Structure 1
Amino acid sequence: MTAKQPPAQHFCPHYPQPAAKRPSLLAMFLRKRRSWLDSLYERSYRMKMGEVHLPGVDVYMVNEPPLVRQVMEQADAFPKHAMLGEALRPLLGDSIFTTNGETWRRQRELMNPSFEAARVKLVFGRMRDAADAMVARLKAVPEGGVHDMEVEMTHVAADIILRTILSRPLESAEALQVFRAFERYQETAPRVMMPAFFGLRWLRPWGQIRRSRQAAAEIRALIEGLIRPRHDAYQAALHQATAAGTPAPTEEGGDILATLLMVRDAKTGQGFSFEELVDQVAMLFLAGHETSASAMSWALHLIANAPDVQERLHAEAARHLPGLGDDPGQLKELALSRNVFRETLRLFPPVGFLARESASTCPMRDKTVKAGASVVISPWLIQRHRELWARPDAFDPDRYAHEEDQQPLSTKESLRKAYLPFGMGPRVCIGAAFALQEAALVLSTVALHVRLAPVPGHVPEPVGRLTIRAENGIALKVHQRA
């Protein structure tokens, strides 16, 4: 059934219009090198499953909910694509982002304590401090001045992740160096990944690969310098306690690194090695700040173009944010803020395409998917699918406020079947609760202190690379609130 056209009052953000027909293989390859979104065509938003047979590999796009669940829940049958390791291992090493199988399971078990609800609550004060620093920057923008909110959200997200992991604000010299090196790395990563995905490794761009590896080496050296003193101090204290027969010491940082230093494997009693710590911290910074920055930037673009939603968000923030201390309990009252972010994640999922490989030959619908084939799950397509969502291209945070009897599916059914911005199954995003807490705080804080308005003639252009960002930034007018 065709989705209903959005009512006039709902803002429909711009996105690359799909081609009428599927592009040629050459055109698809060239377009994907710039942005995944450029290679989509009209049927992509309606099909249940599509396939492309390339010289080096078969590629399947899976949109049908039962098949999506099959791929995402059977992590061993559909492990992460090798191209991710090829492109990201120089930076992320063998972290939970790049590994599969038993290696991944051990690491995930060791990482889980750092992101339990209690731990996420403990670092809330650090999130609030970063949000306060953001307010000071926004207050410095002249009345009605134009400000790139994508840059601002990247700044605050990076500040939050550094404060919560390493107890360092972004303004510190070392943290700023890491931030800048990550920017350079992200510019090269998509071009490095694409030939491997298409089975064309002989087309690897060696110049880009060298620049990517240089940036990765710089980042890892900086991270090593930040965590080495605390690692060595904790290991010395642990060795002393072991020799004395006393309990293991507590690392006093109170941040996520402290948890990573202290955690031990229940079976072996071993923790992370120093190299593994560097891998995981690099992964947390890349995944933690880049995905949040992407989503929060798009959220501000959406509310700036939906003034009624923005004013309601301001009113909600005015009721619940003043006097907020280190306890995030009041955030549960920010229902509209949560729904704005939920709807933003639907329209602009930070990671729009999830690449897997088939470990063995298996049937899927009426097709035989051979071992080694690429299987792609696209939150971007699934969450805008014409047969799975009412008003698929419209920004409507109120769709989550109550159960709608709408076509083609109710909101509850759409959420259950076709909503996966954090992934699904055993590899669901470990930082989902962290991201939701962060977004509720940051978006409400922005709405409390400033009113945002679109800049005439400026239309953010989504591009799909490591994350879905605006190629030309998200410039908005900033009006100070009394």
Structure 2
Amino acid sequence: MSQCPFHPKPYKNKASTLLTFLLKRRSWLDGLYERSYEMQTGYVKMPNFDLYVINDPKEVKRIMVDEVREFPKSAFLHELLKPLLGESIFTTNGEIWSKQRELLRPSFEMTRISKVFNLMSEAVKDMMKRFEKYPNDSIIEVDEMMTFVTADVIFRTIMSSKLDEQKGKKILHAFVNFQEQSVHTAMRKMFRFPKWFSYILGDRKRLKSGEIIREILSDIIKPRYNAVSEGKNLGNEDILESLLLVVDAKTNQRFSFEEILDQVAMLFLAGHETTASSLTWTLYLLSLYPQEQEKAYEEVRQILNGEEIQISHLRQFKFLTNVFKESLRLYPPVGFFAREAKKDTKIRDKNIKKGSGVVVAPWLIHRHKHFWDNPNDFNPSRFDKEYRKDAYLPFGMGERICIGQGFAMQEAILILASILKIYKLELESGFVPDVVGRLTIRSANGMNIKFSKR
């Protein structure tokens, strides 16, 4: 293949602490250096705490599967995400996490593709109508389009509510702000900036963005929460309904309004942001590699044979699924999983003190020279052969693996097949994405792709 998909070029040598601060203020990817992609374990000394990066798949399994209780989710990350997610299953640990997981189980049943396919389909048809409004051969910024459609899918499946354009834009901009400011806030925390100073420098913008998103969700949840509290049945069959009705077996208590808001905010964030990121990068890769795009198009054309996409078609798109898997490898939506050591321990040659940060980074593991052949190349067919399953973790691993991964895979395949069926994609001439690592891996300058009708 003539070119590699774009990724930030790592520095030759490790940066000093001050340079790390200056580089990582924008994106944590900017602070990586060449050995980051070859090492098994790494160490970063921060003024406030020690940080260890673990790339060795055997040790990754230990952290995320075998000794998961000894490496809980990072309190630092919990504090960072709290203004948006509250006390949700995404960042809680131990007993609280187990209880929330049990209470959420009926809701996750509602995400089965057989139950949500029609709602998903309607959102995708609306997306295609938005594409149709553009003249043929238009350059379209697809990042915003993918964020809107995945948010719409989540709104419909969680709350039986179609996402309108105005709310969508408001949420999108609030979340972009939240992501941007979270990186700055994290770096200031690591470098012990006083809270009041951080607040003036931009943390208030982050807190406000979290509030905006929670208010929009709250406006939809509140009337239904009140109706259920008054014993009314509104007849909705969606995820919110199961959250409103579920009862804790031990206490016989339902979720409080605040608890439901926290879980819905988590489901919304995890359910749309990660998939939007993955779809944008997949469209980029298909635009960059016309041969692979044609192969995917031919598969879609032959399987559909002029029909509309049905649920039964989704599993038949083998090559398209490989394209998406390879996109998840090159641009994993969550580039790092933050944990902390619950007690003094040893990982390979590193003596790790209690309270130290432990990072498992799919971004590094997926591009690691020891685990993958030509790791920076786009090669969907690598998933037809034997590959390092222990070095592929776009959805995480162990008991905290993303519970919505089946939902996300099916949604992505439906969206990609719908686009490829109608359009030929080509990257805007001279366009280079600006890859940034924040809460998710995104392109800071969007993604400009030419859409031509087939």
- The verdict on a shared fold, with TM-score over 0.5 as the criterion, is yes
In 2: Cα distance, 1:371 partner to 1:258 partner: 41
Misfit runs of 4+, over 6 Å:
none
Show the counterpart of 2:342: 359
Separation in 2, partners of 1:120, 1:442: 14
Confirm or deny that 1:450 pairs with 2:448: no
The equivalent residue for 1:431 is: 404
Asked whether the equivalents of residues 139 and 480 of structure 1 are also in contact (C-alpha less than 8 Å), the reply is no
Bigger mean CA offset, 207-216 vs 275-284: 207-216
- Counterpart of 1:246 in structure 2 is none
- Give the drift of 1:262: 2.4
TM-score of the superposed pair, with normalisation by structure 2: 0.94
Identity percentage over the alignment? Answer: 44
Q: Which residue of 1 aligns with 2:75?
A: 82
**CA-CA distance at 1:324 after TM superposition:** 4.1
- Equivalent residues, number: 450
Deviation per residue, 1:229-254 (Å, 9 max, x gap): 1122122227xxxxxxxxxx7x6222
Contact 1:86 1:193 (C-alpha < 8 Å) held by counterparts: no
Equivalence for 2:148: 155
Give the structure 1 partner of residue 296 of structure 2.
313
Quote the Cα distance in structure 1 between the aligned partners of 2:312 and 2:255.
32
- The 5 Å alignment of 1:18-417 reads 18-73=10-65, 74-116=67-109, 119-171=112-164, 173-174=166-167, 176-196=169-189, 198=190, 200-202=192-194, 205-207=198-200, 208-237=202-231, 252-321=235-304, 322-324=306-308, 328-401=311-384, 403=385, 411-412=386-387, 414=388, 416-417=389-390
Equivalent residue letter for 1:421: P
TM-score by length of 1: 0.89
Counterpart Cα distance in 1 of 2:298 and 2:383: 19
> Per-residue CA shift, 1:113-156, capped at 9, x if unaligned?
32238733211111111111111111222221111111111111
Q: Which amino acid aligns with 2:215?
A: A
Alpha-carbon offset, residue 20 of structure 1: 0.7
Greater alpha carbon shift after TM alignment, 21-30 vs 263-272: 263-272
What is the aligned partner in structure 2 of residue 462 from structure 1? 435
Please give the per-residue CA displacement for 1:411-432, whole angstroms capped at 9, x wherever unaligned: 33x1x22000101111111211
Q: Secondary structure at the match of 2:315?
A: helix
Shift of 1:304: 0.6
Report the Cα distance in structure 2 between the residues aligned to 1:79 and 1:324, rounded to whole angstroms.
45
Secondary structure, aligned partner of 1:76 = helix
CA contact (8 A) 1:31 1:39 kept: yes
- Structure 1: state its 5+ residue gaps: 1-7, 239-248, 404-410
Q: Is the 8 A contact 1:58 1:373 kept in 2?
A: yes
Shift of 1:264: 2.7
Q: C-alpha deviations, 1:138-196, integer Å up to 9, x for none? A: 12222211111111111111111111111122226555544443333233222122233
Aligned-pair RMSD on alpha carbons?
Answer: 1.9
Cα contact 1:195–1:201 (8 A) shared by 2:
yes
Question: What SS class does the counterpart of residue 265 from structure 1 fall into?
Answer: coil
